[in-house]
Amino acid sequence: MKTTLGEIAEVIRCQLPRQRAAGSDGWVLCQEVVQADFGTISGLVDDVSENVWVEIDPKKKQQKYLVRDGDILFSFRGTESTLGQVGLYIGQNKEFVVCGQSLCILRPKNVDGTWFYYYIRKREIREVLLAKAAGSRLMTINLNDLREVLLEMPTEEDFLAVHRKHSRILEIHKKMNILRKELIELMK
């Protein structure tokens, strides 16, 4: 069964005013996820490197612009090598996180988020998405076109296989972070 991306995920572009220096009332210091924060191999995002001041009232409608655990981050603007990159945000319990200007949030609504993340990372799906791009050096995928992309829904077997794979990837990711911290301590 096929369905459009827009039917199974909310596509959110964060267009909040932002600046690098402290603002007045209504400005909140947020962490900003950029493509460089995507894990090189896994695409997992558990930490962010940038801070930015964003004008936001998180208790109102703008709360949807804050990145949540399990959100899928998609690069809708970039070069041939960066366009269409996908990250899965696993930064647990961080209150104010926004995505960078070339990223949008794909927030699953009618589908399992873990399955959707691995599905959208597939080479053949990335090629379908990249075919929607316009521009020469700096390319952009129109978010309305992104919402209309047809996707094949998973079988129960697909779903279970992805979850087994994801569990193992998270185990390895955790071990790598422990080793990275140990290496940093040894290098001091």
Range in 104-118, 124-138, 151-165 with the lowest mean pLDDT: 151-165
- For 32-90, the pLDDT digits (tens) are 888 888 877 778 787 777 788 887 775 677 788 888 888 999 999 998 888 999 998 98
Could you tell me the two tokens for 23?
């603002």
Question: Tokens 């932002």, residue?
Answer: 18
List helix spans (H) across 74-155. Answer: 113-121, 123-130, 143-147
Q: How far is Cα 41 from Cα 28, in angstroms, rounded to an integer? A: 32
Options 3.30.70.1150, 3.40.720.10, 3.90.340.10, 3.90.220.20; CATH for 2-153 is 3.90.220.20
Q: How far is Cα 35 from Cα 74, in angstroms, rounded to an integer? A: 9
Please report, for the chain, the start and end positions of each structural domain, with discontinuous segments joined by +.
2-153
The pLDDT value recorded for residue 36 is: 82
Could you tell me the two tokens for 107?
């927030």
